[in-house]
Amino acid sequence: MELKPSLSLILPLIAFAVYSQAGYLWKLVSRVDIDKARLVRWENSTALNNQDCQVIHAADACEDVKIHYPSQTAFLGCGNPIERTHWYPCAGVRTVERRAESSFREQLFKHDLRTGQTTALELVGMEGDLITHGIDILPVPEEPSKVHVFAVNHARDGDSIAIFVHELGSNVLRLVKNVKHPNIKTANGVVATGPLSFFITNDHYSRKGPVRMLEEKYGPFTWSSNVQHCDARGEEVFCKKVGGAFPNANGINLWQDKLFVGDSSNGTLTIFQVQEDKTLTNLKVVDVGAGADNINILPTTGDPIVAVFPTLENLPAYRDNVRTLGKEFLVPAAALRLDHTKDYAPELIYFDDGSVISFMTGVAADPVNGWLLVSSVLQYGGFAVCKVPPHAFA
Ligand SMILES: *[C@@H]1O[C@H](CO)[C@@H](O)[C@H](O)[C@H]1NC(C)=O
Ligand SMILES: *[C@@H]1O[C@H](CO)[C@@H](O)[C@H](O)[C@H]1NC(C)=O
C-alpha cells in the first residue's frame, strides 16, 4: 500500500513510526529501505583518467557542467563554498541570516577548452537572487551563434528555472524568462526540451519546515522526489508531474526520445521513453552501484555518463570541511558510462581519490578532443579539466 502524500495523514504516522520503530509503519509511509552495501560497488577502484587534470581556481563550487561541442565551450553553474554552508536549501542548510547579502548572486561561467580561459558571465536582465545548481544548454534553432542556458535557481523567495540567451564568444547571459511555478519546488537538475520548456527533478517533497526535517532525518520516502515537465512558452506556465516514486531524483538528461534520471540515494539511473505529450514510460532501472548525481551525454554514442559517489555520501562532513575539500579532506570521485550497446551496463570512466575534485557532482566528456571535465558543488577550485587518451571513449 502506498499513501498519497497527504501530509495531515502522513505526519502523525511518521511520528508514530519514529516512536515505535515498527517496520510496517515505515512501509505505510513509503519509507525506502536502502541496502547501503549496494552503494559502494566502485569504492576500491584504481585511479583512471585522472593523471593529467588541471584544477581551475577561477570558479568555485561548480555543481554542474555542460559542454557546447561546436564551440568547445563548457558552461558551469558555480558559487561560494563557505556561503553555501550557511544557506543552500538543497543541501539542508537554511540559516539565511548567516549568508552574506552579496553572496546571493552566484555565477555562471564559461570555459573555453581551446584557450583554457575561464570567464564569469555577466547577467543582464536578471533581478533578485541567483543560487545555482543543475544547468543545461540548448542551441537556438536557426541561430547557430546562440545558445540558451537553463539554470536551476534557489532564490530566497523560492526556486525557479532561469532561462538565458548567450551569444557564443560573448561574456553575457541575457535573461529570457525566470520561470516560476508551484511544482518547481526543490529543483535539482534541468534538461531543456525546447527554448522555453524543460524537464526538472525535484529532490525533496518540501523545501523547508517540519516535513523537510523529517525527510532529512528519516527519509528517503518514495513520495519525496519527482520529475516535472514545464511549458513556459505562454504567459501562464504549465508544469505537470510526469514521473515519481524516486527516493532522491537528482541529475537528468535527454538523448533523442530517451530521458535519464539519476537517483543519489538509491544508486540507480532510470531510463524513460518520452512520449509526444512529455509523459514518461519506464524502460529500465539500472543499478549503478553508487549514488548518482549529474548526467551528461556522450555525443558520439548517446550514452549517458554520470557522476557518482563511490563512497557513502556524508554531506555534514563535507560541509564541515569545505575549506580543505580536495586538499587535506578527500572524498573519492568516480564517473560511469552506461553503454547502450551493452544494455546500459555501467563501466568506470574516471576514478580519483579526491585530490583533483572531491565531492564530485558533475562530469562531462568531449570524446573527439579527449577532454573530461569534472566539477564539485562545494570545493574551492570548482572544476578540473582532464586530458584523456583518445581511446578512452571508444
Ligand atoms: C573494498 O575493500 C575492503 C578492504 O579490503 C573490503 O572490506 C570491501 O569489501 C571492498 N569493497 C568491495 C565493494 O569490494
Ligand atoms: C532502488 O534500487 C533497487 C535496485 O535497482 C530497485 O530494485 C528498487 O526498486 C529501487 N527502489 C526504489 C524505491 O526506486
Whole domain around residue 36: which residue ranges?
32-393
Residues 77 and 8 occupy one common structural domain: no
Distance CA 121, CA 123 (A): 6
Report the distance separating Cα 185 and Cα 107, nearest Å.
21
**Shortest-distance Cα residue to atom 8 of ligand 1:** 44
| Ligand 2 pocket check for 222: Cβ under 6 Å | yes
Distance (angstroms) between ligand 1 centre and the Cα of 40 equals: 9
Number of domains into which the chain is organized: 2
Question: Closest ligand 2 atom to the C-alpha of 285?
Answer: 5
Based on the fold, state whether residues 59 and 15 are members of the same structural domain: no
pTM equals: 0.95
Based on the domain organization, do 156 and 21 belong to the same domain?
no
- Write down the residue that cell numbers 563501466 correspond to: 347
Distance between CA 186 and CA 205 in Å, rounded?
7
Cα of 44 vs centre of ligand 1, distance in Å, is 6
Q: Whose CA is nearest to atom 8 of ligand 2?
A: 266
Do 13 and 92 fall into the same domain? no
Whether residues 86 and 123 share a domain: the answer is: yes
292 and 318 both lie in a single domain: yes
Do 21 and 47 lie in a common domain? no
* 94 and 81 housed in the same domain: yes
Tell me which residue has its CA closest to atom 5 in ligand 2: 287
How many other C-beta atoms can be found within 10 angstroms of the C-beta atom of residue 82?
17
CATH number of the domain bearing residue 63: 2.120.10.30
Q: CB of 336 within 8 A of CB of 309?
A: no
* Best residue for ligand 1 mutational test, from 40, 41, 44 (most atoms within 8 Å of Cβ): 44
Residue 228 Cβ < 6 Å to ligand 2: no
Which protein residues touch ligand 1 with a CB less than 6 Å away? 40-41, 43-44
Task: Let me know whether 126 and 9 are in one domain.
Answer: no
Contacts of 292 (CB under 8 A, 6+ apart): 250, 251, 262, 263, 264, 267, 268, 269, 306, 307, 308
User: Are 24 and 36 contained in the same domain?
Assistant: no
Encode the chain (394 residues) as per-residue pLDDT tens digits: 344 556 777 777 777 777 777 777 777 778 888 999 999 999 999 999 999 999 999 999 999 999 999 999 999 999 999 999 999 999 999 999 999 999 999 999 999 999 999 999 999 999 999 999 999 999 988 899 999 999 999 999 999 999 999 999 999 999 999 999 999 999 999 999 999 999 999 999 999 988 898 899 888 999 999 999 999 999 999 999 999 889 999 999 999 999 999 999 999 999 999 999 999 999 999 999 999 999 999 999 999 999 999 999 999 999 999 999 999 999 999 999 999 999 999 999 999 999 999 999 999 999 999 999 999 999 999 999 999 997 888 8
Shared-domain flag, residues 191 and 102: yes
- 43 lies in the same domain as 23: no
Write out the three cell numbers for 240. Answer: 505537470
